[in-house]
A and B are shown apart, each in its own frame.
Chain A
């Protein structure tokens, strides 16, 4: 509940408007934001930034921050840096779509007008006459026969025509003089005064109460620094994350992959042999729901942050990259043990799940991700394999997503990385005289193509016909990382379980889940053979509402000419029988073209049609029509209509609330038994590794 209280305060702060009152600062109460938040959990010695915001123009005279009663500057042995800014508030963009109503009141034109975010002019109305004032200059506005058009008399724009604009609802949006347009302010920004201590180290194990005094406000949070583990059971840790994977998806993929006879699955998934199984909650700081950024951040830092934020506690400052940071597991392991670090993903490497391993930022915008690429270079993981080439080439090169001149491919190369840009190059990087010590493999400008397109519907690959699969990338990473006797920490992400179930594409999502399990199987086999002191943890970052509720007889379904006739093909309970997927080549991936297929749907989505059959092209279930997502006539045209269950502007399905499964193998696996928040997975991995960042040199 304490988390919720803070979240509410933060929300209030965002919405707050400045109130100029006559009370003195000592008496006035101000919203205060303390980051890290209440009940934040640390390992001793973990680096973090500590920010206190007070939402007022200047810090009150009695402003004070203490930690367990000691002034914070004394406690940390460092003075903070002051940083002030404004946040919130919005300027209406000038438009002139509307016409004045018959009873238009000229006084409604009075108010402050802005150029971009800067207040530049005030228009006042008195007795039906308008005056203009800015920068100490004034002018009167002489009326014309149009109530929106005035002639400026006096001041720097003497003689010019000033034209107000109304929006379609008749509200004033701003005015123009010549080529310049000025917007009306719709809400005032909030002032924030803050202090920040950067790169502090968490103190020894214990509880620490941080108390902030600001005017009449006194606010306290408690941080918990945990006892570090003293025994290192695992030398290596591999964290497998299937983005968006849930138990219903695993169940369906297992049947499709392994087959089922007389009620018994004919084979096992690699994850089925887990030594410990857990359930992890995925809630974020600001909502019960979650996205891949805050969840991956929880896995990598042990801190619970806001949706879209990674490696940081979100503040209200304009910059998305200066929010107070918390240290990642990879950073601590490198500091404490000199371990090698690797990331393997089927997404753009700047995407949320891989980036949480090294990056710090508030959101997932393109500009932020371009910075995550720089942060990746600064961090220099020994292995980085995935997509995202668009963030490694300089602006000005066709196809770049950067806005600066950084040629990060070349910078990585200069830093000693072997570079691979295709499956062939990845293979040859590993078959040279010596294994590379550092490996950068980028195989697509964006996300890698999914297994089904790489192996079956290859027309969808475009120019990228030589991409490696997740099994090959995983084993390549292990091979390079295992050269370090100090051990390694590798994250392997299957990104498109999520990316394909968003557009409701069950076959593409489940195929990638099968590939994920095969990569896990290869890693387990490697560990058993070569490094039994390897902890392997498998989880999802969040869930999706996919479920199978029966089967579909395709012939009956497709013979229908109405939805009622098509639905006759949907079979449940005993009638469902078994799907008839086959796997003639025995590679574990079924031929999704079958006579009887899963009746599998997602429990939320836009209006769309569903035919339950594999789509030769990636699905686009709904299209935008005047801001409302409606069924895409080109997607599953033979399908039954499923009414939208999301806001009209939602184009695809969304994440759902359920706990996600956790499977653990190897030394330290026991810690993952139970039900807990996913941030505990960080502490479980740290425990197995005997990690005590305070002991690092």
Chain B
């Protein structure tokens, strides 16, 4: 790609429960492939589990949609079930340094028409761990959403104009502790805790297989 110039950071985007006003996106260079990933410097997300825990994340969240959730409540509900659900990889992959860089190409080992997507051992082994991912922010529906969809390529289509079924497979849902962020069409880097398994966002009904509870969000130039 052409993200080669290091751009000076504009401001710090913290995603703790009390974020600063006028949060801006830091601009950084893209991850060099094949090199040691950067060390995590930001604080982890501290979202309190708010709902009862359940065996299957889908069973716990596939409830009628709540239209009047407080900001962050849907994220907290998703995190509660994500914390309770621990997927088992066919073959465990271990990691030495965190956050672990992962790309959309590494999510799945394939698709079987009868049994669905085959999640990669790397992806499943990362459940609950710190990762760093790069991609694009899909066009947000409303500014007050406390998540966005990270995509491999820029998407033209309004994600909610048609249906959740129209999303490509290679997406990750990124929950922000702060309710809002600046929408951008630039390439972005997300660092945070990754969670694996089907989950339905309690507010919008968006079904996701991969979620990142973001610690930091940066734009690439």
A residues near B (Cβ < 8 Å) are 91, 93-95, 97, 115-117, 174, 176, 179-183, 348, 364-367, 369, 389-391, 393, 395-401, 403, 409, 419, 421-422, 442-443, 445-446, 463-464, 503, 606, 620-627, 629-630, 632, 634, 649, 651-652
Contact = CB atoms under 8 A, between A and B. Distances in A.
Contacts of A176: 70
B156 A445 contact: no
Interface in B88-126: 108, 110-111, 113-119
A624 B111 contact: no
Interface stretch (B4-12, B36-44, B162-170): B162-170
A389 B155 CA distance: 22
Given A403-B200, A624-B156, 14 more contacts: A93-B144, A115-B68, A179-B73, A365-B163, A397-B115, A399-B117, A401-B163, A442-B113, A464-B111, A622-B156, A623-B156, A626-B183, A651-B158, A652-B156
Nearest to A183: B68
B116 A400 contact: yes
B163 A395 contact: no
B70 A93 contact: no
A651 B156 contact: yes
A634 B207 CA distance: 28
A409 B116 CA distance: 12
A354 to B, nearest CB: 15
B209 A398 contact: yes
| Residues of B contacting A: mostly | loop
B49 interface: no
A308 to B, nearest CB: 11
B98 to A, nearest CB: 25
Nearest to B168: A446
B184 to A, nearest CB: 8
8 contacts: A95-B144, A389-B113, A393-B115, A398-B209, A399-B111, A399-B169, A399-B209, A606-B156
A395 B200 CA distance: 11
Contacts of A629: 156
Interface of B: 56, 58-59, 62, 66-70, 73, 108, 110-111, 113-119, 139, 144, 153-158, 162-166, 169, 183, 185, 198, 200, 207, 209
Nearest to B62: A403
A620 B115 contact: no
Contacts of A464: 111
A179 B139 CA distance: 29
Given A396-B56, A445-B111, A624-B139, A651 B117 contact: no
Given A365-B163, A395-B58, A620 B198 contact: no
Contacts of B139: 623-624, 627
Contact of A463 (B66, B111, B119, B154): B111
Contacts of A443: 113
A645 B137 CA distance: 25
B212 to A, nearest CB: 17
A471 B56 CA distance: 43
B28 to A, nearest CB: 20
B203 to A, nearest CB: 9
Contacts of B158: 624, 649, 651
B141 to A, nearest CB: 10
B188 to A, nearest CB: 13
A651 B157 contact: yes
B164 A401 contact: yes
A655 to B, nearest CB: 15
Contact of B185 (A180, A348, A624, A649): A624
Contacts of A400: 116, 198
Nearest to A176: B70
Nearest to A94: B68
Most A-side CB within 10 Å, residue of B114, B139, B155, B164: B114
A181 B144 contact: no
Contacts of B56: 396
A442 B111 CA distance: 13
A393 B198 contact: no
Nearest to A398: B117
A606 B156 CA distance: 10
A398 B154 contact: no
Nearest to B50: A179
Nearest to A625: B185
Contacts of A634: 153-154
A627 B182 CA distance: 12
A93 B68 contact: yes
Nearest to A608: B156
Contact of B156 (A116, A442, A503): A503
A463 B164 contact: no
Given A94-B68, A620-B153, A366 B164 contact: yes
Contact of B198 (A115, A181, A395, A463): A395
Contact of B70 (A97, A181, A389, A626): A181
B68 A397 contact: no
B67 A93 contact: yes
Contacts of B164: 366, 401
Contact of A396 (B58, B117, B118, B169): B58
B218 to A, nearest CB: 19
Contacts of A624: 139, 156, 158, 183, 185
B194 to A, nearest CB: 15
Nearest to B170: A462
Contacts of A652: 156-157
Contact of A632 (B70, B110, B119, B154): B154
B166 A446 contact: yes
B156 A397 contact: no
Nearest to A619: B156
A116 B163 contact: no
Contact of B113 (A97, A367, A445, A627): A445
A429 to B, nearest CB: 14
Contact of B165 (A97, A369, A621): A369
A650 to B, nearest CB: 9
B117 A91 contact: no
